[in-house]
Amino acid sequence: MDMNETPGWLVVFADRLDRLLAFWHAHRIVFVVGGVLLGLVLLWRLRGQEPPSTRAPSPATEEKTSWLDTTSAGNEKQNIFERTQNRPGLQRPSSNTNSKTKTTGPRVVSGRKPAQRTTSQQAKKQTIQPYVFYASLTGNTKATADSVLERLASLNGHNSDILKPELLDLAYIDLDDYFVSGPKAQADDVNIANFYLVLLPSYDIDSIITNFLEHLRETHHDFRIDTAPLSQLRGYSVFGLGDIEGWPSEEQGFCSQAIEVDKWLAKLTGRKRAYPIGLGDIKSNAKQAAEEWMTGITQTLQDILEQGSLGEGVAGSGAPIESDDEAEEEEVVDDLQDEFPDLGRKKRQKLNNSNTIDVEDMGGKSSRSKQNTPLAIDFTTYSSSGASVQPRKAMVPKESPTYTSLTKQGYTIVGTHSGVKICRWTKSALRGRGSCYKNSFYGIASHLCMETTPSLSCSNKCVFCWRHGTNPVSTTWRWEVDDPQLIFDGAKEGHYKKIKMMRGVPGVRAERFEEAMRIRHCALSLVGEPIFYPRINEFLGLLHGEQISSFLVCNAQHPQQLQDLDRVTQLYVSIDASNKESLRKIDRPLHRDFWERFNSCLDILREKRFVQRTVFRLTLVKGFNVEDEAEGYADLVAKGLPCFVEVKGVTYCGTTSAAGAGLTMQNVPFYEEVVEFVTALNAALERRGLGYGIAAEHAHSCCILLASNRFLIDGVWNTVINYEKFFNLLESGKDFGPEDYCAPTAEWAWFGNGGFDPRDERVDRKGRPKEEKKLIAI
């Protein structure tokens, strides 16, 4: 459009708009600041003129405001405990009084707990799920836990808001499930609040309590986990059992482990100690102390249901003074000590290095010499105390309940941390009634075999463990280290003594008894983790020096020690699951990085496969690791490429501890089920082109052997060991491999032939010879 044709009014408008924009750009900062200030002034004045709320108070609030001075909110903390004194001189204001003038003189309190204002969160109906955790070797703490459970169950009968309590043994749960983030709530259980009760004895030996304390400590210091991961708990309380005769004070060890657990739980829950720690002397007032403690717990639970929280301002009400952190609240304690003497309890000291004995059942201190020589051996990457020097002590002191329990099970304790025992197959072989599967697979007659371990401690708590959970558990070696020669001599002595005890047993064959007095083989698989022993290579040298073959079993949790291990006759690794979750559920390992350690051990085994015989040992547990896991096991075999794969059905130990771990006879597979699994596993290996086959079986042990085709020589399986040749090669100092000392498998041991040695006689459960079934023609 031509400018001459543009209307005049439009030109004037454009000119004024241009001037207005120029003015705004020149003064916009002043306008913006002025507008903000004006808005703030208007907002302040509007809020100042807002009338007070006229909402009618609730009955509880009306009762409270009828006698509680509303102007004292700022001084509430100062007067919290002043209200508990009954001092004259103050008349209660009437309920319709609105005066805000301060009253003079102290208040008079009727003794009733002031009702708290109900928040929207508290107004929701909530229920409490109590969990009772315990640990016990001798049974005293278990009995106390049962009584606590019964008391809580009675509350459930009278109040549906308190759910049926659960009793959990610390030795048979995954600690991560309960002490990292707490139990996972179901979709319809959003209003359930968990409440923890922990009952602990005091032991001077490494037990599950040691591991429990280490777990709490690691969780607190783990930067990947929140500062208070258990803050969603409604509350917790701890009860300790000990022997006050041996240790008359907490500083000297009385209930020291319970006290330390109480401290760590205070940190992990965000200071939610619902009731002060209870302490009971097992020889005097344990029952009475437990009753008093439970009375307080009962009242606490009722208060939680009424108020929706632990309350404020008193001991055990949500702001607990931790066992070793009283300095943080020193001024508060000084002010309140007169009215609440319990808050002035002397600061408890941590007792990490106490040289003591079991105090659940016996008093007195250990008579062992107090050695201060450090032992810096650490097998885990997660120990917060790894850098500190710990005094050495016995793993299994003679005065401990662990020693008593293991000796009752037939063990001979050697030194301070080793053991020896003869198995039922040794007794069976002495009477000519058959040897174990090692005879069929590898040529080991059971009466020539010694079963021992240089370390009774283990890093797992397997659900199928035969040792009833009584052996020590740990991730680090922090005990005395016995000399290998002492262990070797003590193990042989203990073994021969037990063999001699069979001398008068009916049916023992004289020639086999004579043969048994010369040990030819050693199974390092009795209990615990043999590779845990720091001087395991020296011990192996002593075995080989007397031409005793070595069969070492490990749980794939110590890769560095496995890497440093010298040659053994045969090296086993227990493969109890095909994936991380199954392994965690079955083996219940103590290491947080158990799966990484497991895979590292498989890599090491792969490297050793051409140096020595390597074996994967699979223990099948129905309901845990059998269903649909053949493919996963095949992947693990492909990773480690062992020489052999043993597949064995679990043996049920028939104890209440096993039942507590969820294991019953229903979890024991039939031999036909084991055969079916092995067939599926073999097919999976064939699909991967790994070159394995089913080589031998021992049906009576519910065990089958798969072998690498390296041992299929001229169409015959060679799984047996030529022990004489092994020792000749070992003494020569030359390099040699597993194929250099193998021998043909006996025909009766081939898969499909049963695997029972024809030189022995089969008997029924009553010891009567089994007769061959004959077909009678009619």
- What's the rounded mean pLDDT across residues 293-307? 87
Calpha distance 767→248 (Å, rounded)? 55
Residue 771 has pLDDT above 80, yes or no: no
Distance CA 442, CA 445 (A): 9
State the pTM of this model: 0.62
Output the average pLDDT for the chain: 77
Does residue 689 surpass a pLDDT of 80? yes
Within 279-329, residue ranges assigned H as helices are: 286-307
* Residue pair 402/470 in contact by the 8 Å Cβ criterion: yes
Select the highest-mean-pLDDT range: 265-274, 350-359, 700-709: 700-709
Rounded mean pLDDT, 152-181: 85
Fold of 401-749: TIM Barrel (3.20.20)
Fold equal for 124-344 and 401-749: no
Residue 563 has pLDDT above 70, yes or no: yes
Look at residue 769 and tell me whether its pLDDT is greater than 80.
Answer: no
Taking residues 750-765, report their average pLDDT: 87
Please tell me the distance from the alpha carbon of residue 255 to that of residue 276, in angstroms, as a whole number: 14
Among 82-86, 242-246, 589-593, the range of highest mean pLDDT: 589-593
- In the block, residue with structure tokens 């009752």: 408
**Given a cut of 60, is residue 337 above it in pLDDT?**
no
Q: Which CATH number fits domain 124-344: 3.40.50.360, 3.30.70.260, 3.40.50.720, 3.90.260.10?
A: 3.40.50.360
Check residues 468 and 649 and name the one with the higher pLDDT. 649
- Rounded to an integer, the average pLDDT of 153-179 is 85
pLDDT tens string 50-96: 555 444 444 444 443 443 344 444 444 444 334 444 444 434 444 44
Q: What is the pLDDT of residue 772?
A: 52
Instruction: Please check the confidence at residue 314 and state whether its pLDDT lies above 70.
Output: no
Each residue of 468-496: pLDDT tens digit? 556 778 888 888 999 999 999 999 999 99
Residue 330: its pLDDT value, please?
Answer: 39
| Reported confidence tier of residue 406, pLDDT bands at 50, 70, 90 | confident
pLDDT greater than 50 at residue 607? yes
* Residue of higher predicted confidence among 459 and 6: 459
Quote the tokens at residue 224.
Answer: 């990947």
Question: Which pLDDT score is estimated for 159?
Answer: 79
Check residue 28 and give its pLDDT.
82
Task: Give the start-to-end residue ranges of the domains of the chain.
Answer: 124-344, 401-749
pLDDT, tens digit, 9 for 90 and up, residues 206-240: 778 888 888 898 888 887 888 888 988 889 999 99
> In angstroms, rounded to a whole number, what is the distance separating the alpha carbons of residues 640 and 642?
6
Range with the poorest average pLDDT among 365-369, 522-526, 635-639: 365-369
Least confident of 29-33, 377-381, 511-515: 377-381
Q: d(Cα 619, Cα 636) in Å, to the nearest integer?
A: 14
DSSP states along 582-646: HHHHHH--S-TTHHHHHHHHHHHHHHHTTTSEEEEEEEE-TTTT-TT-HHHHHHHHHHH--SEEE
Query: In which band, very low, low, confident or very high, does the pLDDT at 127 lie, cut at 50, 70 and 90?
Result: confident
The DSSP string of 691-731 is: -EEEEEEEGGGTEEEEEEGGGEETTEE--EE-HHHHHHHHH
